[in-house]
Structure 1
Amino acid sequence: MSEEDFESNAPTITIGVAMHKEYNIPNDDIYVPIHVGADCHPDTLTHAIQDNTGINISSLNPYFSELTALYWLWKNCDSDYKGLVHYRRYLAPSTIHERHSPPRKQRAITRRSLARQLQSHNIILPSKRHYIIETIRSRYAHTLPSEQLNTARSVLSALSSQSIPAWDKVMRRRSAHMFNMTVMDKADFNSYCTWLFPILFECMKRLSPKQYDAFNARYPGRISELLMDTWILTNHKHYVELPTVSPEPINWWKKGFGFLMAKFAGRKYHASF
């Protein structure tokens, strides 16, 4: 389908921007702010869609993080294409010129650039994050409680045994599509969520997040990042990758130092970087 045909068919595109505080989002009608954790903080971001409206799991936000927005989109949005990004992390255009020419705060992908990708791809994922000296499993075990991975695999074995080979392959890799960011056509988006959330709910039954501090209690959201590639591999889904961009600089030194301390000094993560 040509770009002109795609635009003339006027597909509806909704990309939820998971937010928990005031922040400027891109000025493009594809982006819709969603207040995550509205049950916990009802007086915040009153202008945004509240994730405790309609069919929702807003009360689970302390454990699911941005996934309460993903769930809201699944149950309450009927757009032809649905997606999720973060208020401080977006998908970016594929070309260097489009990605770097505008000011940093205007580098998120636009409807027009996204339409070019959606002409031939039903699924868009962020570029993989690479962990050169670690596998996905060893990195998680060095930085976070490893029993969370064991529980996830056990649940997969019970609820989606055909996904175990893909899960094990993801664990052995040194890269993965992280952040719970994506844009998918409605059928794939709904299919993914239908598969994902029962697995996470069962993980919570077997390994209560309430036993952890607030940081580690968010493990269902972190496990879901690894389940994305598991679902992609299991279902032989084709996708295209796009770079990610932040509207503000990232402190890579701080992130790198935290990772090295976890790997070589046994210092687990207790806060986001």
Structure 2
Amino acid sequence: MKKTKILIAAHKKFPMPKSIGYMPVLVGAKQNYKADIPYQRDDEGENISNKNPNYNELTAVYWAWKNLRDVDAVGLVHYRRLFFERRPYKLDNVITVKKINKILDNYDLILPKKRNYYIESNYSHYVHAHHKEPLDKTREIIVKNYPKYLGAYDKVMKRSKAHMFNMFIMKKDAFESYCSFVFGVLEKLEQKIDISNYSVQEARVYGYVSELLMDVWLETNNYKYAEIAWGQLGGKNNVKKAISLVKRKMGIKTKTHFN
């Protein structure tokens, strides 16, 4: 029987799935802690909790990488964005660990269905919404320190589809490989860019960049993956997203995620 833990990144108290195997994690725990929040804190053991304003949900991933022991698979979802077995999107319908383990019998990892930007490449979508420098510096880091990833990086940037949102469920060996690559790149990126004048939203840069690193890592290492449906509690803000897309095409930087 595989032991699978699915982290649920949250910065506040929120209704959580009751299904066995789900672990709510309070990210940015020092700043966000309140006495009535019973979640696992991301500032225990070896951690980067203090970087949560810049790394987003990745502080939960880092905590699991360094501290979660005796597991066969690790996953990450968000307190409102989860993997579901069926509609409607409500907590009773989240995918069970039993179902996940059956999928992992044949695959190395599970990812959300790809997001399609249609008229934009992954690169153009990013630079229309965020500062361009971090993504360009990321490529320089890959050229110098991770050259075997360069071919996949360039391919991913030219595509209009990608596995986004930092959502996944991975067997332990894949999880170790993924974390080593992503946190290695981001640690070096911190030394390359100055974000002191970034807005609060843009300061989340390392979380944003990491989303595009998922497929770079995946394709370089040829892991076998399954895609499953994801959904958002409370629905998706499609109108806001459409307005955001139009603004970006006009050269106005906007939000890319709506929570």
Please give the secondary structure, in 2, of the residue aligned with 1:268: coil
The answer on whether the counterparts of 1:84 and 1:181 sit within 8 Å (CA) in structure 2 is yes
Q: Which residue matches 2:39? A: 48
Q: Which residue matches 2:80? A: 88
The answer on whether the counterparts of 1:123 and 1:185 sit within 8 Å (CA) in structure 2 is yes
Query: Which of 18, 29, 34 matches 1:27?
Result: 18
Q: Distance in 2 between matches of 1:46 and 1:23?
A: 9
What value does the CA root-mean-square deviation take over the aligned residues?
A: 1.5
Measured after TM superposition, the shift of residue 106 of structure 1 is 2.3
Q: Sort the Cα spacing of 1:122 and 1:261 in 2 relative to 1 into closer, same or farther, 3 A.
A: same
Query: Which of 3, 11, 15 matches 1:12?
Result: 3
Q: Distance in 2 between matches of 1:208 and 1:40?
A: 23
Measured after TM superposition, the shift of residue 105 of structure 1 is 3.2
Structure 1 runs (4+) greater than 4 angstroms displaced: none
Q: Sort the Cα spacing of 1:218 and 1:103 in 2 relative to 1 into closer, same or farther, 3 A.
A: closer
Query: Any unmatched runs of 5+ in structure 1?
Result: 1-9, 94-98
The answer on whether the counterparts of 1:215 and 1:271 sit within 8 Å (CA) in structure 2 is no
Measured after TM superposition, the shift of residue 137 of structure 1 is 0.6
Q: Which residue matches 2:253? A: 268
Q: Which residue matches 1:96? A: none
Please give the secondary structure, in 1, of the residue aligned with 2:177: helix
Please give the secondary structure, in 2, of the residue aligned with 1:15: strand
Determine if the alignment matches structure 1 residue 171 to structure 2 residue 157. yes
Measured after TM superposition, the shift of residue 272 of structure 1 is 4.3
Q: Distance in 2 between matches of 1:224 and 1:92?
A: 23
The answer on whether the counterparts of 2:2 and 2:101 sit within 8 Å (CA) in structure 1 is no
Measured after TM superposition, the shift of residue 179 of structure 1 is 0.5
Please give the secondary structure, in 2, of the residue aligned with 1:117: helix
Q: Which residue matches 1:38? A: 29
Counterpart residue identity of residue 88, structure 1:
R
Query: Which of 105, 112, 116 matches 1:130?
Result: 116
Q: Which residue matches 2:222? A: 236
Q: Distance in 1 between matches of 2:197 and 2:20?
A: 41
Determine if the alignment matches structure 1 residue 190 to structure 2 residue 176. yes
Query: Which of 135, 142, 151 matches 1:149?
Result: 135
Measured after TM superposition, the shift of residue 158 of structure 1 is 1.7
Q: Distance in 2 between matches of 1:106 and 1:85?
A: 15
| Aligned positions of 1:45-84 closer than 5 A | 46-78=37-69, 79-84=71-76
**Number of equivalent positions:** 257
Query: Which of 220, 227, 237 matches 2:206?
Result: 220
Measured after TM superposition, the shift of residue 44 of structure 1 is 6.3
- The TM-score normalised by the length of structure 2 is 0.95
Measured after TM superposition, the shift of residue 41 of structure 1 is 2.6
The answer on whether the counterparts of 1:35 and 1:45 sit within 8 Å (CA) in structure 2 is no
Counterpart residue identity of residue 252, structure 2:
R
Q: Distance in 2 between matches of 1:81 and 1:45?
A: 29
Query: Which of 232, 242, 247 matches 1:246?
Result: 232
Q: Sort the Cα spacing of 1:45 and 1:182 in 2 relative to 1 into closer, same or farther, 3 A.
A: farther
Residues 77-110 of structure 1, C-alpha deviation per residue, up to 9 Å, x if partnerless? 12111010000111123xxxxx12x563322111
Q: Sort the Cα spacing of 1:177 and 1:103 in 2 relative to 1 into closer, same or farther, 3 A.
A: closer
Q: Distance in 2 between matches of 1:45 and 1:154?
A: 45
Give the fraction of aligned pairs with identical amino acids, expressed as a percent.
Answer: 37
Please give the secondary structure, in 1, of the residue aligned with 2:31: coil
Please give the secondary structure, in 2, of the residue aligned with 1:55: coil
